[in-house]
Amino acid sequence: MATSHQYYTLFLFFTLLFSYSLTTISVSATTKQKQRCHPSDYKVLMQIKKSLNNPYHLASWVPKTDCCEWYCLECDEKTNRVRALTIFSGEISGQIPDAIGDLPYLDNLEFRKLSNITGSIPRSITKLKKLKFVSISWLNLTGPVPDFLSELPNLEFLELNFNQFSGSIPPSFSKFTKLGALHLDRNKLTGSIPESFGHFTGTVPDLYLSHNQLTGTIPKSFGNMDFERIDLSRNKLVGDATLLFKPNGSTQILDISRNMLEFDFSKVMFPKKSLISLDINHNKIYGSIPKDIVKIQHLQMFNASYNRLCGVIPTGGDMARFDYSTYIHNNCLCGLPLKKCT
């Protein structure tokens, strides 16, 4: 018959054995993790941290630990090379480090919401031929939008919005063949929209150019392009925008509001199957609202206010969704939801 003392000894023995094996497992796990981070990536990351003045945001980037475990980055599961560097919302001052160009396996690069990062984008970024996703947004970058970004052949998404970029839009950006979206909105861009943007040869990107100071007319070449989403709002564009309306196109979202565009709205033909949102407010658009607007299958948003439109507001289809604010400040629109026509 075992005494309580014997039970206790047995209990102690197993406890020790258990904690010993736990230690062994965690030690070997750490050793294994240490081997994950590629030494060259490790060196570059330490350099990046230093160029950013060792910010608290990168406190997890501790020397001699496995970099693949650090915050703000991701290693590829197979190759263990750093494939994503995503620095977001931190108190970081300085410039985007040149050293980013020495992380050759990066496919995702994000510097976002870091308002004390100034300067421009280093040319070394063009070494990163695997880059697919670039978001350099909500920083305080200045100077021209670097046209060397067009040397990144595999880009699928490029977002440079909410910065202080000035100068004109690089025409070379039409060289992208896989780009799904281009966000250059909310900068201080001037000049006209490049003619070349009507000549994308592969994927036609969603185009976001709003909140800049773009001038001139919408390029004629846009007649060739079927943009699914296009936002040119809050610029200083003049002239005709009829060519953006393609009856057989697949445009879903079209925003040309707050420009100085001037054309006859009654001549426009809507992409009836695809159009979801149409904003033309604050321009000098004249003529009447085409009756065909009621045949748009899923029109969820429409704003024609602050123009020079006239005539009867068509009824039927989705038109009942829109209240008077869709039509205010026009020359002589009438009928529901405005006053009766006389």
Choose between 142 and 196: whose C-beta lies nearer to ligand NAG: 142
Provide, rounded to whole angstroms, the least separation between the CB of residue 325 and ligand NAG.
4
Angle in degrees, CA 61, 65, 69, rounded to 5: 65
Torsion region of 68: left, alpha or beta (phi above 0 gives left; psi -120 to 50 gives alpha): alpha
Calpha distance 147→189 (Å, rounded): 14
Residue 2's contacts (CB-CB under 8 Å, 6 or more residues apart) are none
Peptide bond into 337 cis (omega under 30): yes
Provide, rounded to whole angstroms, the least separation between the CB of residue 181 and ligand NAG.
24
Residue of closest CB approach to ligand NAG: 91
Provide, rounded to whole angstroms, the least separation between the CB of residue 314 and ligand NAG.
16
Calpha distance 262→162 (Å, rounded): 28
Choose between 251 and 305: whose C-beta lies nearer to ligand NAG: 305
Residues 276 and 298 sit within 8 Å (Cβ to Cβ): yes
Provide, rounded to whole angstroms, the least separation between the CB of residue 9 and ligand NAG.
59
Provide, rounded to whole angstroms, the least separation between the CB of residue 83 and ligand NAG.
27
Choose between 37 and 204: whose C-beta lies nearer to ligand NAG: 204
Give the binding site for ligand NAG (CB under 6 A). 91, 93, 115-116, 118, 140, 247-248, 281, 303, 305-306, 325-326
Choose between 181 and 301: whose C-beta lies nearer to ligand NAG: 301
Choose between 56 and 340: whose C-beta lies nearer to ligand NAG: 56
CA 25 from chain centre, in angstroms, equals: 43
* The residue to which tokens 């809050």 are assigned: 234
Choose between 174 and 303: whose C-beta lies nearer to ligand NAG: 303
Calpha distance 338→325 (Å, rounded): 9
Provide, rounded to whole angstroms, the least separation between the CB of residue 313 and ligand NAG.
13
